[in-house]
Chains A and B, each alone.
Chain A
Amino acid sequence: MADLGAAGVALALFGGAIRASTPFLFVSLGECLTELSGRINLGLEGTLVCGAMSAYGAALLSGSPWLGVLAAALVGALLGALHAGLCSLKRVNDIAVGIALMVLGTGLAFFFGKPLIQPRAPMLPALHVCPTCQFAPLRAALDINPLFLIGVALAFVLRWGLANTRPGLVLRTVGDSSEAARAMGYAPLWVRLWATMAGGALAGIGGAFLSLYYPGSWNEGLSSGQGLIAVALVIFARWRPLACLFASLLFGAAGALGPALQSIGVHQGTYLFNAAPYALTLAIMIASASRRGTRVSAPGELGAMH
């Protein structure tokens, strides 16, 4: 790619947007569901890492990467249930529980993941969109993982389901006013339990993508805070699934900036370029928040946010 210069960087950013965006996409859609129910789960970073480890272990034991994805979803749902269960106790703060789950999730992942660092698990297959492309970087950029397509489809399904189906309406009612939901005969605690479990399951699948496709191995430095960024990204996306999709693509591209610049010979500032997604997240949070404006589209019950 060295001889391509700026075009190579653009191509790498495009490839990165497709390849690296999937974890962001799944975590942010999951967090979107959870936050629409009126709770914030900051622990999805821990769920992501735990999901990555369980997926790798299950794929190794069963020989099937798809069973790995299933295991990651189950573990994620369990961690989500733990979050929802703790938050349903009175006087327990959801942000604090999220921090605790971040500690517990990564701790459990590293504890059980120690024997998984050496062996090679079967990887998720890629769909070769353009197998006949002569040009290798373009061919690589167009290798698409099925999970990415599932994630994109899921964003559209959620967009439609939240607006047009009964469960979507119930979820948003609970998130906006649990009083109103209770008056209508729905139990907010149960709705939040399901929403948080679904969110955890999606975050677990995002982790499975990390360990079973890209980068495609298990080690303790696997996640570099994607789970956390994805949580921040939901606020920027104003709790809209399609906006989550576009934000995830943007962040996938931002994450590919450092390696892409390195490949064309820019060796200065590697660390700073790798921190670009974090700085970008912060900048976006500052730009999109305002003292009064943020609340407009926020779920009403998201009290701890502001």
Chain B
Amino acid sequence: MTSLTLVLGVQPGMRGRWLGRIAEAWALPLLALTVALLAFGAFLAACGVNPLAAAALIWRGAFGTWFSWQNTLQKASPLLLTGLAMALPARVGLMVIGGEGALVIGGLACAVIGPTLAGLAGSAGGALLAQALMLAGGMAAGALWLMIPGALRFWRGVNETISSLLLNTIAIAVMNQLVEGVLRDPLSLNKPSTVPLAPGLMLGQIPGLSVHVGLAFGLVLCVAAGVLMQRTSFGFAASVNGGNPRAAQMVGIDVGRLILIACALAGASAGLAGAVEVAAVQGSATASLAAGYGYSGILVAFLARHNPFAIIPVALLLGGIAASDGLLQRHLDLPDATVAVLQGFVFIAVLAAETFSGRLRLRCRLWLPLPLSLRGEPRDG
């Protein structure tokens, strides 16, 4: 018996580069996650908390039981959509972090449209039509909202990160104003809200799960966006512009159109997240629409390196961490900001790991016991 050394990806050929890219897509986020978790463990230890106990609790709260899985899926479903809202403009080279605002505006639009369609709730077909209209309304409102920072960036050169953050605050103020003012349901006493949707118009749950259908929307949109970004000329133009805007202009790509479409798609997915929050969870628009899903989506997108397919596992992971929040608070007496600190650590590590992108040479040597007759010479490049 002897062994065979497989050296992958060091050849300059296409296959080597392809393997290197796959390895980079997985290795960099995993490296960052490991470093962040170790640092977070050290942080907890410095605070006098046993990091292993915390890790066990996070695991139990996120993926340990069927109940916690459902909880995780529930938390992950808006993150799929708000992660897309960050990732799509990022592919075009824009850092739009307006997911929170677009989510709120989308939810508000859904809550305004819903009660006007109450008459359709009677028949099954009518309810389906009403639901489709509500969700489409939320998506359209979110799309228009996020097209603002894109348009300002393209035509006025306004920094899209700052303008989208300001628009978040403005969106929340507009929602609060309307919910406590003209749109307020007179029957909502303690907690102002809009007129609730008719029960027949509420979105149902995925069969077999106690998770609403928003999860399915998120999964479908992530896959669709992944195909759009990786298999179409639109996606190619987007990554050209994201990599080098001057090159995109030189080859005649309509950059304005590209930016507006990417922002509109991003806003539509965040708006859908808000509409689902209203139509499947809360039943009306209230101040709790702005629960921070838009901001968590930023981290999801960065950890997925703005790849729509990768958003799916990342949203599950971060949804799981969010789902374990309560357990950490109850059992270890940690403050509710613990998850935010962990997210901060992960975020920093992910960005620091970017420095290795494109420089990662995969030298994966597989040592396999093989019969003598199959012994191959190790190749090295």
**Is there contact, CB below 8 Å, between A285 and B163?**
yes
Known contacts A96-B95, A104-B344, A228-B166; is-contact A86 B351 (Cβ 8 Å): yes
Q: Which of A246-294 contact B (CB under 8 A)?
A: 268-272, 274-275, 278-279, 281-282, 285-286, 289-292, 294
Contact-size category for B: 35 or more
Bound: A91/B180 CA distance, A = 46
**Is there contact, CB below 8 Å, between B161 and A95?**
yes
**Is there contact, CB below 8 Å, between A104 and B345?**
yes
Query: Which one, B157, B177, B341, contacts A111 given CB within 8 A?
Result: B341
How far, in Å, is B83 (CB) from chain A's closest CB? 14
Q: Is A198 an interface residue (CB 8 A)?
A: no
Q: Which B-chain residue is minimally distant from A287 (CB atoms)?
A: B156
Chain A binding surface, main DSSP class = helix
Write out the residue numbers on chain B whose beta carbons fall within 8 Å of the beta carbon of A92.
351-352, 354-355
Bound: A110/B181 CA distance, A = 31
Q: Which A-chain residue is minimally distant from B345 (CB atoms)?
A: A104
User: Of B177, B342, B358, which is in contact with the most chain A CB atoms at under 10 Å from its CB?
Assistant: B177
**Is there contact, CB below 8 Å, between B295 and A281?**
no
Q: Is B135 an interface residue (CB 8 A)?
A: no
**Is there contact, CB below 8 Å, between B152 and A286?**
yes
Q: Is A59 an interface residue (CB 8 A)?
A: no
Interface size on A, residues (CB 8 A): 51
Task: Give the contact stretch, choosing among B51-59, B121-129, B168-176, B214-222.
Answer: B168-176
Task: Give the contact stretch, choosing among B137-145, B201-209, B332-340.
Answer: B332-340
Known contacts A99-B298, A272-B173; is-contact A291 B162 (Cβ 8 Å): no
**Is there contact, CB below 8 Å, between B156 and A290?**
yes
**Is there contact, CB below 8 Å, between B357 and A91?**
yes
**Is there contact, CB below 8 Å, between A306 and B157?**
yes
How far, in Å, is B164 (CB) from chain A's closest CB? 10
Q: Is A90 an interface residue (CB 8 A)?
A: yes
Query: Which one, A100, A111, A306, contacts B337 given CB within 8 A?
Result: A111
Q: Which of A26-76 contact B (CB under 8 A)?
A: 42
Q: Is B165 an interface residue (CB 8 A)?
A: yes
Complex interface bits, A98-128 against B, C-beta within 8 A gives 1, otherwise 0: 0111011111111100100000000000000
**Is there contact, CB below 8 Å, between B157 and A100?**
no
**Is there contact, CB below 8 Å, between A96 and B159?**
no
Bound: A19/B374 CA distance, A = 81
How far, in Å, is A202 (CB) from chain B's closest CB? 19
Write out the residue numbers on chain B whose beta carbons fall within 8 Å of the beta carbon of A229.
166
Q: Which A-chain residue is minimally distant from B348 (CB atoms)?
A: A100
How far, in Å, is B144 (CB) from chain A's closest CB? 16
Q: Is B158 an interface residue (CB 8 A)?
A: yes
**Is there contact, CB below 8 Å, between A42 and B340?**
no
Q: Is A235 an interface residue (CB 8 A)?
A: yes
User: Of A42, A96, A97, A270, which is in contact with the most chain B CB atoms at under 10 Å from its CB?
Assistant: A96
**Is there contact, CB below 8 Å, between B338 and A111?**
yes
**Is there contact, CB below 8 Å, between A285 and B158?**
yes
**Is there contact, CB below 8 Å, between B173 and A278?**
yes
**Is there contact, CB below 8 Å, between A86 and B348?**
yes
Bound: A90/B165 CA distance, A = 26
Write out the residue numbers on chain A whose beta carbons fall within 8 Å of the beta carbon of B340.
103, 106-107, 110-111
Write out the residue numbers on chain B whose beta carbons fall within 8 Å of the beta carbon of A225.
165, 169
**Is there contact, CB below 8 Å, between A305 and B173?**
no
Q: Which A-chain residue is minimally distant from B343 (CB atoms)?
A: A103
Write out the residue numbers on chain A whose beta carbons fall within 8 Å of the beta carbon of B352.
86, 89, 92
Bound: A105/B298 CA distance, A = 16
Bound: A270/B177 CA distance, A = 7
Q: Which A-chain residue is minimally distant from B171 (CB atoms)?
A: A275
Complex interface bits, A195-226 against B, C-beta within 8 A gives 1, otherwise 0: 00000000000000000000000000000110
> Can you pick out 19 interface pairs between chain A and chain B where the beta carbons lie within 8 Å of each other?
A86-B351, A93-B354, A99-B95, A99-B161, A99-B347, A103-B299, A103-B340, A103-B343, A107-B342, A108-B337, A271-B173, A271-B177, A271-B180, A274-B173, A285-B166, A289-B152, A289-B156, A290-B157, A291-B155
* A interface residues with partner B (beta carbon < 8 Å): 42, 82, 86, 89-93, 95-97, 99-101, 103-111, 114, 224-225, 228-229, 231-232, 235, 268-272, 274-275, 278-279, 281-282, 285-286, 289-292, 294, 305-306
Leading 6 A-B pairs by shortest Cβ distance: A104-B344, A107-B340, A275-B173, A110-B337, A100-B347, A89-B355
